[in-house]
Amino acid sequence: MPEWLVLTLAMLAACAVVVVITLVRHRTAADDEDPSETPDVIEYMTMWIGVVYAIVLGLAIAGVWEGRSAAQDHVQAEATALHEISERVRVYPADVRDRIRGDIQSYVSHVVTTEWDTMADKAEVTERGDKLFARVRQDVTDYEPTSDFEAQAYQPLLDQVTTASQARIARAESTGETMPGVVWFGLIAGAVITIGMIFALQIRRTTRELVLAGLFSALIAFLLFLIWDFDSPYSRGVTASADPFLNLFPGAGD
């Protein structure tokens, strides 16, 4: 059974149970029962709807912000690992060292000038970036150390290549949106219900009530926009930055 169908049936079942219990209780209530002696159920429900929706909004904002922070961490880890490779190959012969550094520079330049735009527009990394990174890996792994000093540097270089590779894979996996469609359905439906409860309380047209209702609705709209903005870490307003690459490889953006 599809998940959306399970969700729909569960929501309908919950509504049906509440309606049935309410109707049964109304039919079986004593004739002398005075509803005015009980608390206003509308105000009670409105309060709890607001509380529950505030919790959901807070969790959603925390989730997308964590995803954005993790995306920035991937960029930092990849740039740092590549910089370490570039620095540690100084113990290799000049021709090998220059080749590795040149390939790293080419890869970083491609990332910050071309691949970054592709991630923003298409939510994916480029095949050219994969090939350039594979060339860097091949440069490091295929070299055979000719001295003990070079041999001691070889394994740490392989470790840095692995770290950069893992960071690149993680960066590629975090380019798209992180919030599932069913969560967006809940957020938007919750916003409609929460704002709709204002009318259930019979809001009047006084200036104070209209201003508060407008500010309340604007706040919810702002929070939903904030979630949407953070949801795609590389393509919207407050995005993960390529600054770690540019700071460690100053000429890459030229």
SS3 143: coil
Number of CB atoms found within 10 A of residue 235's CB:
19
Hey, how many other C-beta atoms are within 10 angstroms of the C-beta on 137? 16
Helix (H, G, I), strand (E, B) or coil at 40: coil
DSSP SS3 for 39: coil
pLDDT, averaged across the chain: 82
CB contact at 8 A, 123 and 175? yes
pLDDT band at residue 39 using 50, 70 and 90 as cut-offs:
low
Model confidence pLDDT, tens digit, residues 175-214: 877 788 888 888 888 888 887 777 666 666 667 767 777 7
Dihedral (CA of 120, 124, 130, 131) sign:
negative
The predicted-structure confidence for 68-112, as pLDDT tens digits, reads as follows: 888 889 999 999 999 999 999 998 889 999 999 999 999 999 998
For residues 65 and 223, the answer to whether their CB atoms sit within 8 Å is: no
Q: What is the pLDDT of residues 202-254, one digit of tens each?
A: 666 667 767 777 788 888 888 888 888 888 887 766 677 888 888 888 877 66
Identify the band that residue 38 occupies on the pLDDT scale cut at 50, 70 and 90: very low
Alpha-carbon distance of 205 to 88, in angstroms, equals 71
Query: Residue 18 is which amino acid?
Result: V
Q: Find the DSSP H helices in the chain.
A: 3-28, 41-88, 94-110, 116-122, 127-141, 148-173, 181-200, 207-231, 243-248
b/e burial code for range 179-218 (CB count within 10 A of at least 16 → b):
beeebbeebeebbeebeebeeeeeeeeeeeeeeeeeeeee
Q: Could you tell me what percent of the chain has a pLDDT over 70?
A: 81
Q: Work out the angle between the directed axes of helices 41-88 and 127-141 (0-180°, nearest 10).
A: 40
Q: How far apart are CA 239 and CA 234, in angstroms?
A: 5
